Each structure stands twice: as structure tokens, then as C-alpha cells.
Structure 1
Amino acid sequence: MGVSTANPADGVRVITADYPPVNALPVRGWHALADAVRAAGRDPGIRCVVLAAAGRGFNAGVDLKEIRRDPGHGALLGANRGCFEAFAAVYECEVPVVAAVQGFCLGGGVGLVGNADAIVAADDAVFGLPELDRGALGAGTHLARLVPRHLMRALYYTSRTATAAELHRHGSVWRVVPPGELAGAALELASEIARKDGTLIRLAKAALNGIDPADVRRDYRYEQGFTFEAALDGTAARVRDTFGKGTPA
């Protein structure tokens, strides 16, 4: 359990998160993921990173049980800081990051893939932000990078998910494959990228980030402020307590 790395092809680093049963990451998991991505980007021998996950789903967001166990706000603050660091690490990684997504990609998972450079998905993958059902806010910044703005709002307000095929039609998913072919398809794309000159691919990543129309770090930090507000006035705890027990009042 945890975050592991492998170098299965020349110039490619695969970073795998494994937090059973559903890859809902604890605070330490978000920071471990951020550290692994940043280390890969600093490695001069790496020209592309694959972000992957073990198990039946890519990422189920933060570990709500960890937050519920904390009588104060320490775990919530830790989770928000950890998510911020992990999302930023993916976006700022000096080399392109390919996300390999299977099963559910929810909450913080959307934050990771929304900041990736390319997405390869299994045909069973679904993407969404169930935040309003869980007493939280955030990652609208990243969902807006995957679907058009009005669809993003509808998905956010309803907590519904979009399929890999739908995202492929919107152009945000590069390729959709059967689950058994996901690892190979992601490695194929990463290897193609890694065949480029290492210096030039790093310059390309910096250039594309530089012309990005959105400041994802600032926008996500702005969203987090409303998460803190919901926590401080008791709304977040009230909604979290009803999660899985029916529709909140």
C-alpha cells in the first residue's frame, strides 16, 4: 500500500497509487504522490510520467474517514494542503504527465487528471465531483479542463459523472481502451513522448503551461476558501454525516 514507482521503458516513470479499498487517499498519500511526481520531473533521465493506480478505481478523492475521526479541522486542512500539492506537482512537473484512468475518478482524482497533459482511460472509467454530497467543494477548476463550462456546472451541481467515452468526444481523453489494455496504451503514448529530445520536451511543457488561459493554482486555491467556510460554519460536517444515508436536508 502506498505510492510506488517503476521505469518500464526508456525515459518513462510510472507512478502508481495503491490505497485499498477504493484509493481514497489519506493526507500522507497526497503528499507522497506529490513527492514522487516532483522527483520524477527533476530526474534528467525522465521525459514522461505515467500516473496510474492499482485496484478497481483510479481515485476516490480524500479519505473521509480520516477527516471524520478528527474532532478539529487538522485533517481537513491537511487534506486540502495535500490535494493542492499533488495537483500542483502534476501540473508543474517538468515533463508531460499521462494519466491512466480505470473505474472511478472522483473528487481529487479529477484534480489530478485535470492537471495532467494527456489522459488514457479504460472504457469503464467515470469522472465526476460528488463534493456537494460529501460536504466539500473544489476541483471545479480541473473539471472545467475536461468538459465545456456549462456541462461542468451541471455535473458539479448534480454530482453526476461523465464516462470516458463522453470525455473522449469532448477531446479531453486521448484514447479509450478495454481495462486490460490500459497500462499498455498509456505506456505506448508515454514512450512516444519520451522519444523526443529531453531538453526540448521540457521546454515544450514550460511553454504550454506559460500560455495556459487559466491559473490552476490560483483558481483551485480560491475554491478551497469556500471549503474552509463550509467547514467552519458546520455545513460540511452536517452534510458529511448524511452521506450515504439519503438526500441531505
Structure 2
Amino acid sequence: MTFLKDFSMRFSILRPAHRISTAMLANMLGMKTNGNITMIEKGQCYVALDKLNKLSEIFAIEISWLFRQSKVPYTENTMPRFEEIIRDFPISKNMRFIQYAPDYYQNYEDRIKFFSLQDRANIVFLMHYRNTLTALHPYLLNDNTKIKEQLNTAFSKLKEKLNSGTFAFRFRNVDIELEYIDQALNYILFNPKRITQDNENIIPSTVYIPPLYQIYDFQDGDELRNTWYKRPNDK
């Protein structure tokens, strides 16, 4: 394969795996039109260096992985840098992400204990997605209700969507889109199965919580696949 084909192969699966439109990814990368995204996915052009770095930050992935020079999309070497970028992203006008996140995420040692690299990459992606959405529609930050207080409702709605197979980011209604993002963040950050209480000490849960999105390296094509996303040929 050529260098361009190697890149476009992984780039073209990355966006659908996270279920965002070409228009949304263009917004997130600061591109004027989504036509460039389509050309990149078809292997007709490269991403500019500044956009390539931004792409890496948004999805918390290694640039070397995009060019098939590495089989590992996430590493502990760069994940903390990606996490540092999102810490001051707004949740509301009066709250930043780092204020919203639970204590066991804020502390680095606890973070690597309670969250997998996939979990952490999903949080990074969702916050970039949320930040882009609220930048396009600032009124979304007016609601100062703490997301934590809506946790039970969010889990209930998320379960319904999973059972019906309708959980996906559609970017048709920005209010609903924000609700989806917040449900996903709640699922990863505040799922009560993630931790258990033992004599008032937080200890890691023995229950495995699969992340919202997982990136797999398949030998037959090196594809990305979302664990909840079933392609027509999947059984």
C-alpha cells in the first residue's frame, strides 16, 4: 500500500466508529467545508500538519497509528497530554470539565487505575465534541444544572437506546445531541459499577465496564469497529 492509502484506510474508519458526520468532523478540525474530509477518506489528499495534530488530540490517538507505523492507537505516553487539553473545557458557564469530573478521575494515579486507555480516549473525544457543539451554539452552556444530578435519567435513556439500537450521534437537533454526549460522559465517568465502597475507601470494581467506543486492529484490513455498531456483513 502507498503511504496515502495507509493513512486514508484508518482515517476513513475513525469517523464512522465515533458516529459523527463529515460536517461535524470538519467543524472540530476547523475546516471550512466537509468536502476535504470526504477527499481525505477517499485517499485523494492528506491532512495538513496542524489538522493532523488536532485530529490526534480530538480522538486521543497516536499519529504513528494513523500511518500504520504502530498497531497501538492509544498509549500512556501521550494520553495525559490529551487529557490536559480538555480539563478547562466548559460544561456550563460556571463549570469546567475538571470541576465536573469525579475525584477518582482527577487524580492521575486513580485515573489509570479506574479507567482504561479506551475509556480515557472516549472522554477526550466526547469533550472535544461537546466543546465544538457549545462553541457553535453558546446558549447550550446556559443550563447550569449539574449533570451528575441527571445521572439516573441518563442511564435509563441510554439503556433504552442500546436496547433499540438507536444510540448514535446524529447532529440533527443540537439540544438532543448535547444530551447524547452528556449521557455518554455520565456512562463512562460516573457508572456506579466502576467503583465499590469498602470501609469508606474507594476500591476498583471487579465489574468490567466496556467503553463506549473501542478501536480494534484487525489483521484482515486493520479496521476500526465500534462494539455497538453492526455492519451489514456482521453476524
Considering the TM-score relative to the shorter chain, is it more than 0.5?
A: no
Q: TM-score, normalised by structure 1?
A: 0.25
Higher strand residue share: 1
Q: TM-score, normalised by structure 2?
A: 0.26
